[in-house]
Amino acid sequence: MAPYLLGLRLDGRRVLVVGGGRVAQRRIPALLDAGASVTLISPSVTPALDDLIAAGRVTWERRPYQVGDCDGAWLVHVCTDHREVNTAVAAEAEAKRIWCVRADDKDASAAWTPAHGRVDEIGVAVTAGGDPRRAAGIRDAIVGALRDGTVDARRHRTRPVGVALVGGGPGDPGLITVRGRQLLAQADVVVADRLAPRALLDELSPDVELIDAAKVPYGRSLSQEKINELLVEHARMGKFVVRLKGGDPFVFGRGGEEMIACARAGIPVTVVPGITSAVAVPGAAGVPVTHRGVSQEFHVVSVHVAPGDPRSTVDWPGLARSAGTLILLMAVERIKEIAEALLRDGRSPETPVMVVQDGTLPTQRAVTATLSTVAERVTAAGVRPPAIVIVGEVVKVGQEIEMVRAERVP
């Protein structure tokens, strides 16, 4: 007969475990996580169990099993290496109407321990006819799908509230964090940036309202004030709002402004950091932003206004004097002015530069140059945003890596 699956709430209830070997080592932590009061009976225990005992989390009676040990238990796990002991414990538990799990004999066991996993408040338990490896494989597949949001796990009784500022990463949809994807799967409303991983939006349920908050350079743009209003407005309607951004919300993502707007309106905010393109895109192009003996610092700069513009707060002379790596965002349209400023303030004309367009995406491409030639090369190659500009000797490290790779290809 198929087992009847039931979730036991063991908080404060006595659970007896007989046997202190590897099976007990696997099962006792899960029992403790469920709040059980665990009594362990065994002449010896594994080092991992010894740690739990020393921490006062498990009551250990250092002796063999005796008749009467099952008294007062709500659940019994017997997992010794001696079949006769396991049989005796199971018989006592059966006589006293206590559920008993036998690790050595699934057919003689009154209950089975499923392969279990947890993602937030969702518990997964799988039995597979007593085949633990098969059950574990199925469990892993389900847990993985819950973690990456490919299974619709939206809450209905207790829904999340407020706004989640989610960093979507540098572009490749596989680079969003697990937490970010989970919250995206729970959303009632998604307010998405132009640089957010758009492929993830196709996976949203049809009833999710999608608001395009794109800021196209020199084109159509939704003002930040309007975005703030939309977040507050929808959250006040009781909807769970995900603000999906490219990169990280707090790295030139105006996440701080949106968080302040929500805080002023009394809206709870969850922040999910994302992988910033400032590090991820150079990495995807094979360029480390730091490298031992080459660069022990890197500077991330937003060049939404050119050097010399009264609105700029960037210390361009200081960056020119620095030997560190420069990572320049929103810099393609102003690359000529940037190069001129760095050269004027002391950077060598031979400083290596790489410009990476569409980093981490299938359309990724890179242009290499020097500081004296980069403006001309970018114009000739027709490089367009989004692109990351890398300035510094680490570009040569990336080229060395590429040469080594090429030499090893048969």
The answer to whether residues 215 and 162 touch, using CB atoms and an 8 Å cutoff, is no
- Active-site pick, 96, 106, 140, 215: 215
Whether residue 239 lies in the annotated active site: no
Please give the single-letter amino acid code of residue 325.
Answer: T
Whether residue 188 lies in the annotated active site: no
Cα–Cα distance measured from residue 360 to residue 344, given in angstroms and rounded to the nearest whole number: 33
The answer to whether residues 353 and 369 touch, using CB atoms and an 8 Å cutoff, is yes
Phi, psi of 266 (to 5 degrees): 75, 25
Cα–Cα distance measured from residue 245 to residue 375, given in angstroms and rounded to the nearest whole number: 29
Closest CA to 91 of 109, 116, 118: 109
Closest CA to 36 of 16, 61, 54, 53: 16
Question: Is residue 405 exposed (0-12), middle (13-18) or buried (19+ Cβ within 10 Å)?
Answer: exposed
The answer to whether residues 101 and 109 touch, using CB atoms and an 8 Å cutoff, is yes
Phi, psi of 375 (to 5 degrees): -60, -45
* Strand residue runs (E) in 246-374: 269-272, 298-302, 325-329, 352-357, 365-370
Cα–Cα distance measured from residue 101 to residue 54, given in angstroms and rounded to the nearest whole number: 26
**Number of CB atoms found within 10 A of residue 275's CB:** 24
Closest CA to 321 of 348, 339, 301, 340: 348
Is the preceding omega at residue 386 within 30 degrees of 0, hence cis? yes
Phi, psi of 100 (to 5 degrees): -130, 135
- CA 62 → CA 31, 55, 81, 136, distances in Å? 20, 16, 16, 32
Residue-level length of the chain? 410
- Active-site pick, 69, 188, 193, 358: 193
Closest CA to 371 of 392, 387, 398: 392
Residue 182: its H or E element: helix 178-186
Taking the mean position of all CA atoms in its chain, how far away is CA 23? 30
Active site residues per annotation: 193, 215
